[in-house]
Amino acid sequence: MTDATSVGQIKDALKLCLTQRQGSFQNVTAFSMRFEDDDTGASRTFNNFKDLASIFGISNVEEYIISANDKIPGWTVTGRLVAHLSAAIRNCSPDSPERCLVLIHYASHDFSDDMTGPSFKAAPNTKAFFRFVNVADAVSNLSSTSSIPIDAVCILDCCHAGSAHFWPSSSTGTFEVLAAASEASNTSECFTTRRTLTAKFADAAAIVRGQARSVDFAEPLDRSHQLSSAKFPVHRFLNSSVSVRLFFPKQSTAFDPVRLSPALEQGKYKIIFSCYVMDNHDSEEMANLLEWVESLSPAIGITVDSIYEYGSSGLVFSAPYTVYKTLSTSVHVDILFGGLQFAFHCH
């Protein structure tokens, strides 16, 4: 069976998920950008972004308003973003293994082409614009010179955000995009619906906070999708395959969350997938793997549902999308059923 994998490969991939869920960030910051002469209500959307940041206990939220007189917004935006991130890095200790995380937010008009992906502008008829790839490159370039590893999550509340891509450097950390719509969406769809992705995502995160101690950023998008009718959010890993996970701040109430992960709630976030394993189903190595998977924290959310003998051993897993995606980068897996109702893409 040419696609068969080893028990060790499965364990190594799952250990990535363990490391990510047990880790934390020594500094989390947020940066939002919009045009001064925007006509889409981006200022209101920024308030939703601030609400989202507060749900995760993020107090450092900067709003950069691009002047209507700015003829080269790409330079000013990336310069301001680098200054913002550099300040955050200075508040980190290079002796700590913890990383720095930045949430980047944009809401307003955009357009897209196959070569560069989405570009952002104040209105359809304005000339000045800047490209998403410039923003991504600024984070990537800073990562290559920083002693503090940097991860980024971009929330792009615009029509063509699903086409986002860039070419990360080898030192770039996790780079995720949560996009309001796929590259196939058209402008009329985007602006006939006034409930923004940012507002939906903040609402979903607030609900998850009442059910979990931490969450992958990819997970609340399922509820965001359910709240959508004309445009549907998408998720992209532009670098890495392990979703950024944040812990919620402790609440000052008597509420004690029992569930550790919303991925376990009624199977909503589950992917059912299979893989072939070279070891026999009754081997000691297979028994050790099954015992090890059962011993994992419920926060991982993975179970072995079935095991079959067919040349090699066939395992059927159920797990959250983010765990499936991490496994699929190093292990050949086949989706049997997808619990998520919206599109996921990996660069």
**Is 269 in the same domain as 238?**
no
280 in the same domain as 148: no
Mark whether 117 and 211 lie in a shared domain: yes
- Cβ–Cβ contacts within 10 Å for residue 278, how many? 16
Determine the structural domain holding residue 291 and report its residue range. Answer: 7-19+260-346
The backbone torsions φ and ψ at residue 297, rounded to the nearest 5 degrees and listed phi first, read: -60, 140
Position 1 in a domain: no
Same domain membership, residue 81 and residue 13 = no
Could you say which of 226, 247, 268 is where a domain stops? 247
CA atoms of 247 and 214, how far apart (whole Å): 4
Say if residue 240 is in the same domain as residue 134.
yes
How many Cβ atoms sit within 10 Å of the Cβ of residue 48? 22
Residue 254 lies in a domain: no
Residues shown for the chain: 347
Torsion angle in degrees (nearest 10) through CA of 42, 43, 47, 49: 40
Which pLDDT does position 297 carry in this prediction? 75
Domain boundary (215, 247, 279) is at 247
Residue at 279 is within a domain: yes
205 with 301, same domain: the answer is: no
Whether residue 39 sits in one domain with residue 134: yes
The structure tokens listed for 208 are 């998850």
pLDDT, position 48: 94
Residue 29 within a domain: yes
The reply to whether 215 and 340 lie within a common domain is no
Kindly report the CA angle at 315 between 326 and 212, in degrees rounded to 5?
50
Give the DSSP H or E segment for 46: helix 42-55
Looking at residue 161, its pLDDT comes to 72
Instruction: With respect to residue 216, please indicate whether it lies within any of the assigned structural domains.
Output: yes
**DSSP states of 71-137 as a string?**
S-HHHHHHHHHHHHHHHHHHTS-TTSS-EEEEEEEEESEEEEETTTEEEEESSTT----EEHHHHHH
Same domain flag for 126 and 274 = no
Dmax over Cα atoms in the chain, in whole Å?
Answer: 71
What is the model's pTM? 0.80
Residues 330, 291 within the same domain: yes
Note down pLDDT in tens along the chain; length 347 residues: 557 788 888 888 888 777 766 667 999 999 999 999 999 889 999 999 999 999 999 999 999 999 999 999 999 999 999 999 999 999 999 888 889 999 999 999 988 887 888 899 999 899 999 999 999 999 999 998 898 989 999 999 987 777 777 777 766 788 888 887 665 555 444 544 556 888 888 888 888 887 778 888 877 766 655 555 555 677 777 887 777 888 889 764 433 333 333 333 444 557 888 888 887 778 888 889 999 999 887 767 788 998 888 767 889 998 887 788 778 777 888 888 764 443 333 33
Q: Which of 200, 226, 247 is the last residue of a domain?
A: 247
Residue 193 has phi, psi (to 5 degrees) of -110, 130
User: Rounded to the nearest 5°, which phi and psi values hold at 127?
Assistant: -90, -40
SS (H, E, C) 195-243: CCHHHHHHHHHHHHHCCCCEEECCCCHHHHHHCCCCCCCEEEEEECCCC
CATH number at residue 185: 3.40.50.1460
Are 271 and 216 contained in the same domain?
no
Residue 2, in any domain of the structure: no
Structural domain total, the chain: 2
Domain assignment present for residue 277? The answer is: yes
User: Is 264 part of a structural domain of the chain?
Assistant: yes
- Residue type for position 347: H
Q: Looking at residue 306, which CATH number applies to its domain?
A: 3.30.70
Same domain? 174 vs 303: no
